[in-house]
């Protein structure tokens, strides 16, 4: 059974169809990049998968072992002020709140493992407000990783990063996908084919929607 099976979903706002009869499926370990123009329904699709957007018709079937409160999510705009008075550890622990309100040693280990995976263990007692933009994004990614061992969803998570920070962030995502066998869904505006990280692409361009392999998508781009 696929990890996620999206079957003929339509999502509407008023009379406007934001997503129209969309179908695709993802297996464990897939890395999907979602691309498309503004207003094509990219963020709406993520919210539908997370159970935060009402589906007009069709359905989304999750593997029985994948519960929505065990999905890691890094939104486009995080709600943590840059001067928020908390340590890196305290920020990362908030990723566990959907599963527990008591941070036991088991959950502390999960947070420590996430920090280690991202190479920022040395920052765990530092103040979040003193970090660079790239470091903050790694902390928020660690928070999302704490919530999941199955599925990580990223909504334009690299938008505010400079080139070097973005390259480092993308390298981390590829590493996590491969070494942890973690399924990743990432909305991106970065259409340079070298930065289409995953093995699959979903293009929500209304004129010519596409779902398939990244290689096939790149060939289609070059053919046009």
Residue 103 domain-assigned (yes or no)? yes
Q: Would you state the pLDDT for residue 211?
A: 95
Confidence of residue 208 (pLDDT cuts 50, 70, 90): confident
Q: Would you state the pLDDT for residue 214?
A: 92
Q: What letter would DSSP give residue 98?
A: T
Residue 144 domain-assigned (yes or no)? yes
Q: Would you state the pLDDT for residue 78?
A: 75
Residue 35 domain-assigned (yes or no)? no
Domain boundaries, position 140 = 82-148
The sign of the CA dihedral 166, 224, 200, 23 is positive
pLDDT in tens, 38-51: 889 999 999 999 99
Residue 121 domain-assigned (yes or no)? yes
Task: Classify burial at 153, counting beta carbons within 10 Å of its beta carbon; exposed 0-12, middle 13-18, buried 19 or more.
Answer: buried
Question: Domain tally for the chain?
Answer: 1
Confidence of residue 164 (pLDDT cuts 50, 70, 90): confident
Q: Would you state the pLDDT for residue 68?
A: 80
Residue 33 domain-assigned (yes or no)? no
Higher pLDDT, residue 222 or 17: 17
Q: What's the mean pLDDT when you consider all of the chain?
A: 87
pLDDT at position 189 over 90: no
Return phi, psi of residue 168, to 5°.
Answer: -65, -40
pLDDT at position 210 over 70: yes
Q: Chain-centre distance of CA 145, in angstroms?
A: 10
Q: Would you state the pLDDT for residue 195?
A: 61
Location of structure tokens 């407000």: 129
d(CA 160, CA 186): 15
Query: What's the average model confidence in pLDDT over 158-165?
Result: 78
The β-bridge partners of 87 are 127
Q: What letter would DSSP give residue 84?
A: -
Residue 185 domain-assigned (yes or no)? no
Residue 171 domain-assigned (yes or no)? no
Query: What's the average model confidence in pLDDT over 60-65?
Result: 93
Confidence of residue 79 (pLDDT cuts 50, 70, 90): confident
pLDDT in tens, 87-98: 999 899 888 776
The percent of residues in the chain predicted with pLDDT above 90, rounded, is 47
pLDDT in tens, 123-156: 999 999 999 888 988 899 999 988 888 999 999 8
Contact predicate 2/63, CB 8 Å: yes
Residue 118 domain-assigned (yes or no)? yes
């Amino acid at each position: 059974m696929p990890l996620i099976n999206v079957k003929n979903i339509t999502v509407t706002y008023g009379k406007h169809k934001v997503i129209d009869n969309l179908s695709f499926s993802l297996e464990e370990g897939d890395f999907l990049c979602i691309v498309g123009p503004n207003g094509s329904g990219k963020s709406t699709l993520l919210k539908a998968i997370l159970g935060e957007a009402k589906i007009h018709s069709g359905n989304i079937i999750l593997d029985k072992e994948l519960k929505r409160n065990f999905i890691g999510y890094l939104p486009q705009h995080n709600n943590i002020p840059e001067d928020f008075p908390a340590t890196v550890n305290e920020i990362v622990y908030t990723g566990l709140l959907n599963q527990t309100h008591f941070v036991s040693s088991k959950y502390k280990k999960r947070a420590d493992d996430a920090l280690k995976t991202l190479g920022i263990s040395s920052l765990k007692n530092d103040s979040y407000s003193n970090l660079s933009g790239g470091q903050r994004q790694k902390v928020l990614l660690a928070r999302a990783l704490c919530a999941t061992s199955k599925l990580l969803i990223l909504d334009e998570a690299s938008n505010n990063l400079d080139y070097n920070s973005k390259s480092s962030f993308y390298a981390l995502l590829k590493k996590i996908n491969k070494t942890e066998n973690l399924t990743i869904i990432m909305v991106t505006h970065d259409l340079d084919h070298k930065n289409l990280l995953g093995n699959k692409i979903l293009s929500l361009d209304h004129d010519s929607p596409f779902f398939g392999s990244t290689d096939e998508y790149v060939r289609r781009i070059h053919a046009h």
